[in-house]
Amino acid sequence: MTSTALRSRAWKLLEMVTTPLLPSDYLDLVGPLRAGADLRGRIEAVHPETGDAATIVIRPGRGWRGHTAGQYVRIGVDVDGVRLWRAYSITSPTNRPDGRVTITVKAIEDGKVSNHLVRRAKPGTLIQLDQPAGDFVLPQAKPAKVLYLTAGSGITPVMGMLRDIEFDDVVMVHCAPQPQDVIFRNELHDLVADKKLRLTEVHTDTDGMLDIARLDELVPDWAERETWACGPAGLLDAAEEHWTEHGVQERLHTERFRPSIVVAGDGGEVTFSATGKTVDADGATPLLDIGEEAGVLMPSGCRMGICFGCVTPLKAGAVRDLRTGEITEAEPGVLIQTCVSAAAGPCDIER
């Protein structure tokens, strides 16, 4: 017998010992970061960067496969007891000797997770992790000239790149409301002092929004540079247009944060993605009824919100709890009780 076969035998035997739980349920008690466990991380430190941004140092579990500069990681954090998932760019270099990774988070208005991480997260807390992902990364072959065009927290993936690899000729144009809002400002200025970076800060409170046409004056050779841009949609749209106009769009790489914002309304178009049906729903009829009327096979039970026999994944959009008025937005892993939920805008139910 091969060793893998032997190991799987042993594991089966162990499962018999721990049934109906799994051996990992017990192992997690002592080694939540061990190899073979679901990927998790432990927050080891929280360093403030600006008034509303902080860097979180995370010790990833043994299953962490490592990242490429510029990538992001999805993390699951328990906020007020509820697990919420968000994606953040990794700001640490890929070769950090202690194996830790950092993300740098800017607290956004009403952002549950970002505010929690910046202001309340405590060292020692376990968080859930996904493997790093994203193709906003540097190419294998080193470009001769580089431009980083960033705004606000759009600097975070770029910082991961700056810390990872040195280029001979790097220019950065970064926008932030005021000097004190520039995340990593000291480190950037150190790089400038060491002549490793040429930096232009645009302080939008005094200078106004960056007009993309000003690039000609700020970085005259911008069109020759391999460019990575990250920031609000307005900036990226303008950049894409500008680069395309000059026929150099293949030199521009962009990364967009928060692509979709759910606007909760009253009723909306409901898609039953597994069945491929779409129907209009008002804001007062339970989705269970809507689905049944449309001929979708809907699991159900008490039909009054007590038995949890109707829980179904919400793939997209938002729903309103008909009893409390509470809005639930789609996120991976979110299940809703269809018998007491109505459409709050367009939504997608996995049935």
By CB under 6 A, name the binding residues for ligand FES.
Answer: 300-303, 305-310, 337, 339
Residues of 293-312 as b/e, b for ≥16 C-beta within 10 angstroms?
ebebebebeebebeeeebeb
Residue 284 sits in the site that holds another protein (CB under 8 A) = no
> Can you tell me the distance from the alpha carbon of 40 to that of 131, in angstroms, rounded to the nearest whole number?
10
Shortest reach from residue 66's CB to another protein, in Å:
25
Handedness of CA 85, 317, 311, 278 (dihedral sign): negative
CB of 134 or CB of 305, closer to ligand FES? 305
Residue 297 within binding range of another protein, rule CB under 8 A? no
| In the complex, minimum distance from the CB of residue 303 to another protein, in angstroms, rounded to a whole number | 8
Q: Pick from 2, 5, 12, 80: which binds another protein (CB under 8 A)?
A: 80
Instruction: Give the interface segment with another protein, choosing from 153-161, 177-185, 207-215, 324-332 (CB under 8 A).
Output: 324-332
Contact partner, 339, from another protein, ligand FES, none, Cβ < 5-8 Å per class: ligand FES
122 binds another protein (CB under 8 A): no
Comparison of 29 and 141: residue with beta carbon closer to another protein: 29
Residue 82: name its binding partner from ligand FES, another protein, none (Cβ under 5 to 8 Å by kind): another protein
* The one segment of 93-101, 130-138, 171-179, 307-315 that binds another protein by CB under 8 A: 307-315
Nearest approach in angstroms of CB 114 to another protein is: 17
| The one among 1, 82, 193, 261 contacting another protein by CB under 8 A | 82
DSSP per-residue string spanning 143-206:
PSEEEEEEEGGGHHHHHHHHHH---SEEEEEEEESSGGG-TTHHHHHHHHHTTS-EEEEEEHHH
- The CA dihedral of 326, 328, 333, 338, to the nearest 10 degrees, is 70
- Using DSSP, state whether 315 is helix, strand or coil: strand
Q: Residue 84 CB, nearest distance to another protein (Å)?
A: 7
Distances (CA, A) of 236 to 105, 211, 254: 20, 12, 7
Q: Which runs of E-coded beta strand occur in the chain?
A: 40-50, 53-60, 72-79, 82-89, 101-106, 126-129, 145-151, 169-176, 198-203, 226-231, 252-256, 268-272, 277-281, 311-321, 327-329, 335-337, 341-349
CA distance 123 to 47: 11
Is residue 225 within 8 A of residue 171, CB to CB? The reply is yes
Closest distance of CB 1 from another protein, Å: 21
Give least dist CB 128 to ligand FES, A: 27
Distance CA 158, CA 171 (A): 12
**Among ligand FES, another protein, none, what does residue 324 contact (CB within 5–8 Å per kind)?**
another protein
Question: Residue 93 Cβ, how far from ligand FES at the closest point, in Å?
Answer: 49
| Beta-sheet pairing, 101-106 with 169-176 | unpaired
Under the criterion CB under 8 A, does residue 305 sit at the interface with another protein? yes
Residue 12 in contact with another protein, rule: CB under 8 A:
no
Among 1, 5, 17, 141, binds another protein (CB under 8 A): 17
- Packing angle, helices 23-30 and 3-18, rounded to 10: 90
Question: Shortest gap between Cβ of 3 and another protein (angstroms)?
Answer: 23
> Which of ligand FES, another protein, none does 25 bind, CB closer than 5 to 8 A by kind?
another protein
Tell me how far, at minimum, the Cβ of 284 lies from ligand FES, in Å: 16
Looking at the DSSP assignment, which residues form a beta bridge with residue 231?
256
Contact 225, 144 (CB under 8 A): no
- Nearest CB to ligand FES, comparing residues 283 and 305: 305
Residue numbers at the binding site for another protein (CB under 8 A): 13, 16-21, 25-26, 29, 78, 80-84, 301-302, 304-309, 311, 323-324, 326, 331, 333-335
